DNA sequence: CTGTTAGCGCCTTCAG
DNA sequence: CTGAAGGCGCTAACAG
């Protein structure tokens, strides 16, 4: 009459295998110093009883420390990356009893060398896990190769380079996101004859492959459903605001017939605020991400829809994945697409970017 | 040189207050048997150092058991409530190391007495916390009064009766949800002259106040923005399918000019499948909730939009709140509106009902 | 190769 | 009113 408790403990399986808890612990952690016979017997019982360790007790006893470091583009407060960072910090708080620490580093998106330097710096810290946004795919490989050598797991946030084999990726499927945006834009604009894409160019380059992929998806939808709709482009240069102003002045004067536009970066407020400033109503506008200024535009009616991608949830999940992998020994899904969420003034107040609040 | 560790422990504050850990533990839990002097000294240091207990160690040591019970409407597999229940079970798994158990009970939404009986049954179990969907507001008060007497916290899921003062509520703001749905419907239908509301009547009553409130919000939007659009109603009776068929036959024959419809309950598939069966294209349709059959209709183009309310997240959060309140002693927010999410065939695959997968 | 033991931070008796 | 001691499930060091 060996009554087993609801939750099986090491002690229980030790008794059943007729060994000591020490031995069970050794096989659980794949350590050496166990005879083949004992190991087999223990493993047998382990899976027969579907033993689930109490990770809290484990963490308590082991007292192991974990250092995670994340590498993000430099950004200003209120920017998109702020929320990603917030999510990571939330996760660190949540798992603080497991002794994890997060060190955050930044690089200049338009300066390759700063990415390289940051990478070196990180390796010196000998982290247990790394999170990064692979906004510069060419440079990322050189860094992740070294991480792989050292067997340090790494997580991609926001955009993916699946060939680099991260432990996990969290971000939107950007082409599909643009595809969806196209449908909404055409519905919003009541099937306009022309539509404009506002682009943002920095240092002569599109800021991210995200922007590029969304546009691709957008064009795919248009091709499939509205091949006759003319797609116009207007390039803006966020670092020279007066120049942007002039470009928009010219554009809106020369194209009064265009009444619908979209932007695939997170700065739709640049256009929204321009519309407000110039009292241009009746222009339908769609953008991405819930930056404060974007939301203001939405509430004032200058922006009609915002598409959200839950940056905070991305950051949180990234850290959580590292914990699952390193601490809880749970399997983590490699490709995690975030929801593509449409926000209008009527539902934006209930938007839930998990863990942001 | 008293170096304090990063994470303050009971031992540390005991030393600083010049008492034993036992005494600190006593003041932490507000137990009797501590002199006023000691209590004050300990409390002082406690908040000065912002002591945060290690809840995992605490749970490990205390070995306390918690029983939660939830009361939901009877439902079939695949129904809306299935997902709510799933979320609760996920949460129980997540917190299983804290020794929580969940007992699920059901009542017949159309039989008051079954709600009463279930309530009695629950009280007998002496649970530590209760979760329920107050779909029958009149009956709910009688039950929650008794819970309040016994100081058993309770959570409302799906719909709210804030006057009954639950520990927390998780669900959509239903009128706003209908308001948003109206905007989307009008956009989708390209400002139709007429629109139809498909209602579902059971035993002579609308299944839920949810359905009613959404319709109210819908009508509010229409009043404000399209007062000239005619709103037609068609009542269906889910329990008699052939009758429904006849009603729809008649409706679509008599109203060929109506090309846009909406339903505020979770069974839009009834109309969607009818449209498919009768090969009626070009009818624009919006509904609620991601039941499998609804999603099929969405993918086949018979339904254009579904509005989701994250039932699994609701259930999960409900159980989580009880844990936060009872075990972690964290404050829980009372009113938690769920996001109002628009799903179309282009983005439904990425819909994230937290903890469902 | 294996068992024993002393903690991890906290809670709960039990003496005093 | 207070302190000391044993134990929650697990880890890791130490004997043997």
- Asked whether the predicted pLDDT for residue A64 surpasses 70, the reply is yes
Handedness of CA B21, B27, B30, B34 (dihedral sign): positive
Chain A hits for B224, Cβ within 8 Å: none
Helix H or strand E encompassing A69: strand A66-73
- Average pLDDT for A60-69: 92
B350 CA: distance to closest CA in chain A (Å): 5
> Which of A59, A177, A180 shows the shortest C-beta gap to B344?
A180
pLDDT digits (tens, 9 = 90+) for B129-159: 999 999 888 889 999 999 999 999 999 999 9
- Average pLDDT for B79-107: 93
A62-171+311-337: CATH, from 3.40.50.880, 3.30.70.1520, 3.40.50.450, 3.40.50.2300: 3.40.50.2300
Lowest mean pLDDT among A22-26, A109-113, A322-326, B312-316: A109-113
Phi, psi (5° rounding) for residue A164?
-85, 0
- Asked whether the predicted pLDDT for residue A311 surpasses 90, the reply is yes
Q: Which nucleotide is nearest to B33 (CA to C1')?
A: D1
- Asked whether the predicted pLDDT for residue B79 surpasses 80, the reply is yes
Measured at the CA of B10, the angle between CA B5 and CA B12, to 5 degrees, comes to: 45
Q: Which residue of A has its CA nearest to B221?
A: A346
Task: Tell if the CB–CB gap between B341 and A346 is shorter than 8 Å.
Answer: no
Q: How many CB atoms lie within 10 A of CB B338?
A: 21
- Asked whether the predicted pLDDT for residue B206 surpasses 60, the reply is no
pLDDT digits (tens, 9 = 90+) for A194-228: 999 999 887 655 556 788 999 999 999 999 999 99
Q: Which residues pair with B203 in a beta bridge?
A: none
Burial class, B195, CB count within 10 angstroms (exposed 0-12 / middle 13-18 / buried 19+): buried
3-state secondary structure of A39: helix
Helix H or strand E encompassing A232: strand A230-236
Hey, do B10-53 and B62-171+311-337 end up sharing a CATH topology, with the first three levels equal? no
pLDDT in the model for residue B1: 38
- Average pLDDT for A77-106: 93
Structural domain boundaries of chain A? 10-53, 62-171+311-337, 174-308
Question: What is chain B's mean pLDDT, rounded?
Answer: 91
pLDDT in the model for residue A1: 39
pLDDT in the model for residue A62: 87
How many whole angstroms separate alpha carbon A88 and alpha carbon A69?
A: 10
pLDDT in the model for residue A220: 98
How many whole angstroms separate alpha carbon B203 and alpha carbon B79?
A: 19
Q: Which residue of B has its CA nearest to A183?
A: B346
Beta-carbon contacts of B85 under 8 Å, excluding residues fewer than 6 positions away, are B70, B72, B104, B315
CATH architecture for residues A174-308? 3-Layer(aba) Sandwich (3.40)
Do residues B179 and B217 touch, judged by C-beta distance below 8 A? yes
pLDDT digits (tens, 9 = 90+) for A312-342: 999 999 999 999 999 888 899 999 999 999 9
- Asked whether the predicted pLDDT for residue B6 surpasses 80, the reply is no
CA B201, chain centre distance (Å)? 22
A234 CA: distance to closest CA in chain B (Å): 26
- Token representation of residue A136: 């510069």
Residue A53, CB, strand D, below 7 Å: yes
pLDDT in the model for residue B347: 97
pLDDT digits (tens, 9 = 90+) for A229-262: 999 999 998 777 788 899 999 999 999 999 999 9
CATH code of the region A10-53: 1.10.260.40
């Amino acid at each position: 009459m060996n009554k087993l408790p609801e939750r099986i403990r090491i002690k229980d399986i030790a008794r059943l295998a007729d060994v000591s808890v020490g031995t069970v612990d050794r096989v659980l952690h794949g350590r050496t110093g166990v005879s083949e016979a004992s190991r087999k017997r223990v493993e047998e019982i382990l899976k027969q009883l579907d033993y689930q360790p109490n990770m809290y007790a484990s963490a308590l006893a082991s007292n192991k420390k974990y250092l995670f470091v994340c590498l993000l583009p430099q950004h200003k407060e209120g920017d998109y990356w702020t929320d990603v960072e917030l999510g990571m910090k939330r996760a660190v708080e949540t798992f603080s009893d497991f002794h994890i620490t997060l060190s955050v580093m930044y690089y200049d998106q338009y300066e390759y060398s700063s990415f390289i330097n940051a990478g070196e710096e990180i390796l010196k810290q000998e982290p247990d896990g790394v999170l990064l946004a692979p906004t510069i795919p060419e440079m990322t490989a050189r860094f992740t190769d070294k991480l792989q050598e050292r067997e340090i797991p790494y997580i991609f946030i926001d955009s993916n380079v699946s060939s680099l084999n991260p432990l996990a990726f969290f971000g939107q499927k950007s082409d599909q996101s643009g595809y969806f945006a196209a449908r909404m834009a055409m519905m919003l604009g009541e099937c306009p004859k022309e539509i404009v894409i506002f682009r943002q160019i920095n240092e002569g380059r599109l800021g991210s492959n995200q922007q590029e992929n969304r546009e691709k998806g957008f064009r795919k939808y248009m091709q499939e459903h509205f091949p006759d709709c003319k797609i116009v482009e207007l390039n803006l240069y966020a670092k020279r605001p007066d120049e942007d102003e002039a470009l928009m002045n010219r554009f809106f004067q020369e194209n009064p017939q265009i009444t619908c536009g979209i932007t695939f970066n997170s700065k739709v407020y640049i256009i929204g605020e321009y519309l407000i400033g110039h009292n241009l109503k009746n222009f339908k506008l769609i953008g991405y991400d819930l930056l404060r200024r974007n939301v203001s535009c939405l509430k004032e009616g200058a922006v009609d829809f915002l598409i959200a991608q839950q940056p905070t949830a991305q950051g949180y999940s990234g850290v959580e994945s590292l914990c699952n992998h390193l601490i809880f020994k749970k399997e983590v899904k490699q490709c995690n697409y975030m929801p593509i969420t449409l926000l209008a003034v009527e539902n934006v107040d209930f938007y839930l970017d998990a863990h942001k609040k």
